[in-house]
Amino acid sequence: MDYFLELFFGGLTRGSIYALIALGYTMVYGIIELINFAHGEIYMIGAFTAFIVASALSLCGMSGWSLLVLSGAVAMIYSAAYGFTLEKIAYKPLRKAPRLSPLISAIGMSIFLQNYVLLAQTSDFISFPSLIEEFSFMENVTVMRSTELVIFVTTAVVMVLLSLFIKFTRMGRAMRAVAQDRTMAMLLGINVNRVISVTFIIGSALAATGGVLISSHIGQINFYIGFIAGIKAFTAAVLGGIGSIPGAVLGGLILGWTESFATGYVSSDYEDVFSFGLLVFILIFRPAGILGKSSSEKV
């Protein structure tokens, strides 16, 4: 039973990270129908920012939770700035172009950002400080670690806040309106550019959160971590139904559990076979993903 629970919580942690990144994919897709392939890189930049800030602050003698919160906050702001700029530089000029153009632009930005960090920082793996402290009340719990607890509590809180934001605030309503029909929203006086920018800012901040949390859980980062995490999170978003926010979280968790249990009970040789097999299987029966609504192409 312990073994099952350990795998369960391991999968939950991994799934939470996928979910945090997948939220960014799904929100952007929901609003401008673009798959933002540079999103994984924003996650990586978040992790690097937190690393730099945390190193600087711990030199000044700061430690514990304040260090985590402060470096996390700086990472979120910095990544959000990257997300905002990314949209302005790479996607906005192409908004009226054929759909393939922004996609290529996204892939280009992804390669650019990776190499930028490679050159500006290092290609080596760097040891990431464990910013999340061990709780004393967790000492006798063997099936999970404090970092795992922090990761999925954070994901749950973020998910609830995001849903409330989209449901009840003016900006949230504007986002839903733009997602439904951009031209109509514009005619009704919604500042579409602002809505899109806000979407990118929120998505990037969430990715940075995921980057900081998982890095302090695993303890190492390099410039390439965004690629694989990005692919997996994209899979999660498609699995849950791209464009749907609860779908992204559900997709992330299902993917995390599938990988964890497949490794635990079958073999880690086939970890990816199971996760992508599941994706194919679900897309056969629900082409729009688990919670996605299939809609006809807008004319």
Partner 1 sequence: MKRLICSLVAVFMVLCAGWAYAAEPIKLGVAGAHSGELRSYGLPSLEAAKLVVSDINARGGILGRKVVIVEGDDACKPEVAANVASKLATDGVVAVLGHICSGATKTGLGIYRDANIITMSPSATNTDLTLSGAYPNFFRTIGSDDYQAKIITDFALKKLKLKTFAVIHDKADYGKDVAESAKKYLESKGARVVLFEGITPGAVDYSAIVQKIKRSNAQMVIYGGYHPEAAKIVMGMRNKKMKTLFISDDGVKDDTFIKVAGRYAEGVYATGPADTSKNRMAIAASEQHKKVYGSDPGAFYLNAYAAALCLLQAIDKAGSTDYAAVSKALRSNWFDTPLGKISFDKNGDAKGIDFTVYQVQKGKYVELGK
Residues contributing to the site for partner 1 (CB under 8 A): 3, 6-7, 10-11, 13-14, 17-18, 118, 123-127, 145, 214, 217-220, 222-225, 227-229, 232, 259-261, 263-264, 267-269, 271-272
Cα–Cα distances (Å) from 109 to 91, 116, 258, 265, 283, in that order, read 10, 10, 31, 39, 28
- For the bound state, the minimum distance from the C-beta of residue 119 to partner 1, rounded and expressed in Å, comes to 9
- For the bound state, the minimum distance from the C-beta of residue 155 to partner 1, rounded and expressed in Å, comes to 14
Q: Are 103 and 126 in contact (CB under 8 A)?
A: no
CA atoms within 13 A of residue 262's CA, in its CB half-sphere = 17
Which lies closer to partner 1 via its Cβ, residue 134 or residue 181? 134
User: In this structure, what token pair is assigned to residue 85?
Assistant: 């700029």
The rounded distance, in Å, linking the Cα atoms of 94 and 180 is 20
- For the bound state, the minimum distance from the C-beta of residue 227 to partner 1, rounded and expressed in Å, comes to 8
- For the bound state, the minimum distance from the C-beta of residue 9 to partner 1, rounded and expressed in Å, comes to 8
Q: State how far Cα 182 lies from the chain centre.
A: 25
- For the bound state, the minimum distance from the C-beta of residue 274 to partner 1, rounded and expressed in Å, comes to 11
Which lies closer to partner 1 via its Cβ, residue 174 or residue 214? 214
Which lies closer to partner 1 via its Cβ, residue 182 or residue 217? 217
Select from 11, 21, 12 the least CA-distant residue to 208.
Answer: 21
Which lies closer to partner 1 via its Cβ, residue 47 or residue 86? 47
Give residue 83's identity as a one-letter amino acid code.
G
Which lies closer to partner 1 via its Cβ, residue 57 or residue 218? 218
